[in-house]
Amino acid sequence: MNNDSTALYAFRKYGNTVLRAAFAFSGSYSEAEDIVQEVFLSLHINPRSFNDDEHLKAWLLRVTVNKCKNLRRSFRFSRTCSLDELENSEAICEISTKGRELREQIAALPKKYAQVIYLHYYEGYSIKEMAEITGKNENTVGSLLRRGREKLRAELEREDEICREEIIKTL
């Protein structure tokens, strides 16, 4: 496979995965699209060789995570409001209402927890693989995943309790 076809192959096979990851980390569909372009452009400009498709996918997700981190640190990000926040960006996502609510709960978590929860539950990575992707120690990733689950569980239980109280009030 030559360099041109590597980037094209990667885009066709993992384009949607990279887009979902970028959206999960950036919270903005338009920013996610820009990040996807940057990720595949960097693969095209600086071709690499990969052991297999999983290695390619892990590299793409690692680059995506790094680009999202760079976006979060940028001056532009901290000083602007995206159009996605103003419009109903949920119409763009093709996921169920419950899935959307859970996705919003995950996005509301601190980024360090949301990142590992997304990689584990949405992309199916193990703690060891997530440690390689995020550049963190395996024990750190395991702790982040455990704490993220605890925070998510507590938030879901709190919302469930609020819903029950609202139902009782209407009776």
Give Dmax (Cα) for the chain: 67
Ordered by start, the domain boundaries in the chain are 1-94, 95-171
Within 10 angstroms of residue 49's Cβ, the number of other Cβ atoms is: 9
Say how far apart CA 105 and CA 109 lie, in whole Å.
7
Q: What is the CA radius of gyration of the chain?
A: 18
Residues near 36 by beta carbon (within 8 Å), at least 6 away in sequence: 15, 18, 19, 22, 64
CA–CA distance, 29 with 22 (Å, rounded to integer): 8
What is the overall mean pLDDT for the chain? 79
Q: Which residue has the higher pLDDT, 148 or 85?
A: 148
- Nearest-10 crossing angle of helices 138-170, 97-108: 120
Instruction: Kindly state the tokens that stand for 77.
Output: 């990000």
158-169: pLDDT as tens digits = 877 776 676 666
Judged against a pLDDT cut of 50, whether residue 89 lies above it is answered with no
Report the top-level CATH class of 95-171: mainly alpha
* 8 A C-beta contact, residue 6 and residue 47: yes
pTM to 2 decimal places: 0.53
Two tokens at 9? 């192959």
Fold of 1-94: Rna Polymerase Sigma Factor; Chain: A (1.10.1740)
The predicted model gives 64-74 an average pLDDT of: 80
Question: Are the beta carbons of 63 and 42 closer than 8 angstroms?
Answer: yes
- 145-to-26, 49, 111, 132, 151 alpha-carbon distances in Å: 19, 31, 12, 15, 10
Residue scoring higher pLDDT (10 or 105)? 10
Q: How far is CA 114 from the centre of its chain?
A: 8
Q: Encode pLDDT of 93-131 as tens digits.
A: 444 455 667 777 888 888 888 888 888 888 888 888 888
